[in-house]
Chains A and B, each alone.
Chain A
Amino acid sequence: MSDTTHEEHHDGPHASGMWRWLTTTNHKDIGTLYLVFSLIMFLVGGTMALIIRTELFQPGLQLVDPHFFNQMTTMHALVMIFGALMPAFVGLANWQIPLMVGAPDMALPRMNNWSFWILPPAFLLLLGTLFMPGGAPAGGWTLYPPLILQTGDAFPFVVFSLHMLGASSILGAINIIVTITNMRAPGMGFMKMPLFVWTWLITAYLLIGAMPVLAGAITMLLTDRYFDTSFFLAAGGGDPVMFQHIFWFFGHPEVYILILPAFGIISQVIPTFSRKPLFGYVSMVIATSAIAFLSYVVWAHHMFTVGMPAAGMLFFMITTMFIAVPTGVKIFNWLATMWRGSISFETPMLFAIAFVILFTIGGFSGLMLALVPADIEYHDTYFVVAHFHYVLVPGAIFGVIAGVYYWLPKWTGHMYNETLGKWHFWMSTIFVNILFFPQHFLGLASMPRRIPDYSVQFTEFNMISTVGAFGFGLSQLLFVWMLVKCVKGGEPASTKVWDEPEGLEWTVPSPAPYHTFETAPKV
C-alpha cells in the first residue's frame, strides 16, 4: 500500500480550526464539507416542505399567504436539488472516487476547495431573497417566464446564485472527470472501475453538458428583464415556450444527474450484502450510458400541454418510453445479483432494497406519464408530484443514505449504531409511503400541483400525506442522531468493515488516514 515513512510527514491537516476547513485541499475534508452542507440544506429544504404540507393539511388558508406558499414550493425545490442532493453526491464522490480508483487525492485539489466554497455564499444569497422586497422567487423552480419576471427585487440575486451553483457544479464535474480519467491505479482499466465511479463519470459529463444551458437560459431571463431584450416576451416578438425548451434541455439531464450516482451506490451496496459479484457489469455500464444519451432527447415530455405538433409529441413519447429499457436492465441486474446470493440486512442493504422497490414504483408512474394522451390529464397534478418524489426521495435520497451508512465506518473508524439505523430505515420507509403514495390518488382525482388551497374533496388524502410528511421529517432526526453518535465514537470498524466487500476503499485502515494511496496500489 502506501509508503509509511512518507506518510509520517503528512499525517494530518496543515492547519486547525476554521482555517483548516477554509483552506483545505484534501479530498476527504472537502467531501466532509460537502456532506455536512448537504445535510444542513436537507433540513432547511425539509422545513420548507413541512410548511407546505402544514398549509395543505386542510382546505382553506390557515397558515401562509398564497404568495409565500409559492415561494416555499419554489425554494424547497431549488434547495433540495442544488443544495441537498447535488452536493451530497459530490461529497460522496470526493470521499470515495480517490479511494475507489486508488488515487492520492482529486486531480485538481485547489479547484476542489473553490468549487465547495462557492456553495455557502450562493445559498446565503438564495435564502436571503426570502427577506427581500417582493420575497423569494415564487414562479416555481422551473423559472418559467413571463411569471418569473414578476419576481421582486430578488430576481437578479436568484439568477446570480444559480450562476454560482452552476459554476460550482461544472468545476466539480471537471475535477471528477480528470481524476477518473488520469488517476486510476495501474491495472484499473475503465471496465474494471467500480460502478459508482462509472456512474459518476457519466454524471459529470451530463453536468458539463447541462449546466451551461441553464446558465444561458437564466442569462436571457436577466436581459429580458433589465436590458430590453425579448427572448421570451411575446410583446417583443419572443416566445415564452422557447424558455421551456431550453430549460428542459437542461432539466431532463439534470433529473439523471440526480439519480445516476444513486444507481452507482446501489450497485456497490447490493453485491456486498448479497456476497456475490454484481450481475451484468458490462450491461450496467451500457445501460447507464444509454440513459445519459436518451436524457438529451426527451426534454419536451415535460411540455405535452404547451402546444406542439403531434409528430413532435410522438417523438418525445417514444424516446421517453425507451428509457424504460435500460432502466429495466438495471433493476433486473440488481435482482439477479441478489438471486442465489447470501443476503444479510444491514442498514445500507435495507435502504438499497427499499430503493429498488420504490424507485421502480416511480419508474412505473414515469412510464405512464410518457403516454401523451394520459399525460395531458396527469400533467401538473399531484400524480406528477408523487412520481418525481418517488424517484427523488426513496430513490435518490435513499441512495445517498445507503451510501452514507455503507461508507460511514470507513470515514469515522466507528460502526454506526445498527439499532438506530434500522429504526431510521423503517420509520423513513413507512412514512415516505404515507407521505407520497396518497398523492397519486390526489392527482388522479384532479388536484393540481402548486396550489396553496384546494377543493374539499381532496381533504382526506392531503391529511394523510401531511401526517406522513411529519413522520418522515422527524425520522430524519434519528439519522442526524446516528451520525453524531457515530462520529463521536462506537465500536471500532475493521479495515474491511463488511464481510467480503469489493474495492480498494476496503484496503485502507478505518478511519481512512488523512492521506491514502500516496503510492499507487496494484490492481
Chain B
Amino acid sequence: MYRSKAHGRWLFMGIAAAALAIATPAAADWALDFPASATELGNKVRGLHHLALIICTIIGIIVFGVLGYSLVKFRKSQGAQAAKFSHSTKAEIIWTVIPVLILVGLAIPTARVLIEMEDTQAADLRIKVTGYQWKWRYEYLDHGISFFSNIDDASNAASILGAGHELHEHYLRDVDKPMVVPVGKKVKLQLTSNDVIHAWWVPEFYVKRDAVPGTINETWFKAEQTGTFRGQCAELCGRGHGFMPIVVEVLPQDEYDAWVAGLTAPAEPEALEEPEAAMSQTAPAAAGGASSR
C-alpha cells in the first residue's frame, strides 16, 4: 500500500499525496473521534469525552460568536466610535460564577467514573505485565503461564530505515503472541518494568497505565465482546518505543479454557520453563529482531 520513496522529492510528494489523500477518501481511515469501546467503563469514558467536547463547543460558539460580531460591528472602517467603559462588576461576577458552575457540573460525573476505574477488586483473572526494551511479557498468575510478546516479523522487517516494504494492515500493531483473555471477565493487570518506564495501552479498552521499574501498578478491564484489540506502548522508552505493539485476543470462555489447557498441559514443558528460554524457543526471529534495535 505505502512504499518508501527516494528522499529528495518528498516536498512535491507531500503536496501531491495530500491532494490525493483528500481526493480519495475511500482509501483513508479519517477517524475523527475516540474508537468504539469494547468495555462498559470505556463507554462511560467516551461519554465523558463527548460531554466535555459538547460543553466546549457550546462555549466556543458563544465566545467566537461574540468575537465575530464585535469584529464586524465595531470596525473603525465602518465608522464605529469607541465607548469609554472599562469595568462592570456585574459582568465580571457573572462570567466568573457561570464557569465555576459548569466545572462543578463536569467534575461530579467525572469523579464517579474515576472511582469506578480505580476499583481493581474482585478480579476474575490476574495478569502480570512487564515492560522490556522493547517487548512485553505476560504472566498469568493464576495459571502459571508466562510468555513474551514481540512485534511481528513482517512489521519488524518493514520498519528498518529505507526498507521500503509493503506495509500490511496492522503494521506496527501486530505481535507474535498476543495476550489472551476470556470475554466478560474482569482482568486485573499488575504492571511493572524491567528497565525504563513503559505504558501498556489498548485504546478500545480505555486502559492505559505506566509500567514503572520497582513498582507494581494496577488497572483492570472487562472486555464485553470477543475479537482482537490492538494498541502499543504509550511512554517513550528509547529507540524501539514505536515498535512494541500490544495485541489482546478476547475469546469465549470455552476457547480461552482450551488455550490455557494447551499451554499448561504436561506435554508442552516450555510453557512452564524459564520465560526467557520459552521465548527463545518459540519466537527466535522476532525476539532477535526486537532486541537488535
Residues of A within 8 A of B (CB): 54, 57-67, 70, 138-140, 144, 146-147, 150, 234-235, 238-241, 274-283, 305-307, 310, 313-314, 317-318, 321-322, 324-325, 328-329, 331-333, 335-336, 338-344, 353, 356-357, 360-361, 364-365, 367-368, 371-374, 376-377, 379-381, 441, 444-446, 448-461, 463-464, 466-467, 470
Contact = CB atoms under 8 A, between A and B. Distances in A.
> Ordered nearest first, which 10 A-B pairs have the shortest CB separation?
A234-B214, A451-B242, A445-B31, A446-B203, A307-B217, A364-B56, A457-B29, A340-B83, A342-B82, A277-B86
Given A234-B212, A344-B76, A373-B113, 8 more contacts: A59-B172, A144-B196, A235-B213, A277-B84, A281-B86, A317-B111, A450-B236, A455-B173
A329 B92 contact: yes
B267 interface: no
Contacts of A343: 70-71, 74-76, 80
A455 to B, nearest CB: 5
Nearest to A331: B63
Interface stretch (B43-51, B178-186, B252-260): B43-51
B293 interface: yes
A433 to B, nearest CB: 14
B153 interface: no
Contact of B74 (A317, A339, A373, A467): A339
Contacts of A463: 14, 17-18, 21
A376 B208 contact: yes
Contacts of A441: 30-32
A324 B59 CA distance: 12
B239 A67 contact: yes
A475 B48 CA distance: 38
Contacts of B115: 310
Contacts of A60: 2-4, 158-159, 163-165, 167
Contacts of A318: 107
B178 to A, nearest CB: 16
Contacts of A336: 88, 91
Given A371-B48, A464-B21, A376 B215 contact: no
B238 A377 contact: no
B172 A444 contact: no
A66 B293 contact: yes
18 contacts: A60-B158, A138-B239, A279-B87, A305-B199, A313-B114, A317-B114, A325-B99, A341-B82, A360-B60, A445-B29, A445-B33, A446-B35, A448-B233, A448-B242, A457-B29, A459-B28, A463-B21, A466-B18
B265 interface: no
B212 A446 contact: no
B14 A470 contact: yes
A364 B60 contact: yes
Nearest to B245: A455
Interface residues of B, number: 112
Contact of B95 (A63, A332, A467): A332
Interface string B195-234: 1110101010011111011110110000000000001111
A59 B60 contact: no
B110 interface: yes
Nearest to A365: B56
A240 B197 CA distance: 8
A380 B199 contact: yes
A371 B215 contact: no
B103 interface: yes
Contacts of B92: 280, 283, 329, 332-333
A456 B2 contact: yes
Given A70-B241, A368-B53, A62 B212 contact: no
Given A364-B59, A367-B56, A373 B45 contact: yes
Interface in B238-293: 238-243, 293
B237 interface: yes
B1 A456 contact: yes
Contacts of A234: 212-215
A296 to B, nearest CB: 19
B71 A338 contact: yes
B5 interface: yes
Contacts of A361: 60
Q: Which of B21, B35, B164, B169 has the most CB of A within 10 A?
A: B21
A496 B99 CA distance: 39
Interface of B: 1-5, 7, 10-11, 13-15, 17-18, 21-22, 28-35, 44-45, 48-49, 52-53, 56, 59-60, 63-64, 66-67, 70-71, 74-77, 80-88, 91-92, 95-96, 99-100, 103, 106-107, 110-111, 113-115, 117-118, 158-165, 167, 169-173, 195-197, 199, 201, 203, 206-210, 212-215, 217-218, 231-243, 293
A274 B71 CA distance: 10
A147 B67 CA distance: 46
A147 B196 contact: yes
Contacts of B208: 305, 376-377, 379-380
Nearest to B94: A332
Given A305-B208, A368-B56, A62 B110 contact: no
Contacts of A338: 67, 70-71, 74
A306 B293 CA distance: 26
A342 B76 contact: yes
A335 B67 contact: yes
Given A322-B103, A441-B32, A453-B172, A307 B210 contact: yes
Contacts of A58: 2, 4, 17
B107 A321 contact: yes
Given A235-B214, A325-B100, A341-B74, A374 B45 contact: yes
A380 B199 CA distance: 9
A144 B197 contact: yes
B133 to A, nearest CB: 9
Contacts of B171: 59, 455-456
B18 A325 contact: no
A514 to B, nearest CB: 35
Contacts of B80: 340-343
Contacts of A368: 49, 52-53, 56
A278 B160 CA distance: 57
A164 to B, nearest CB: 25
Given A373-B117, A454-B242, A324 B60 contact: no
B63 A335 contact: yes
B82 A240 contact: no
Contacts of A466: 14, 18
Nearest to B172: A455
B177 to A, nearest CB: 19
B29 A458 contact: yes
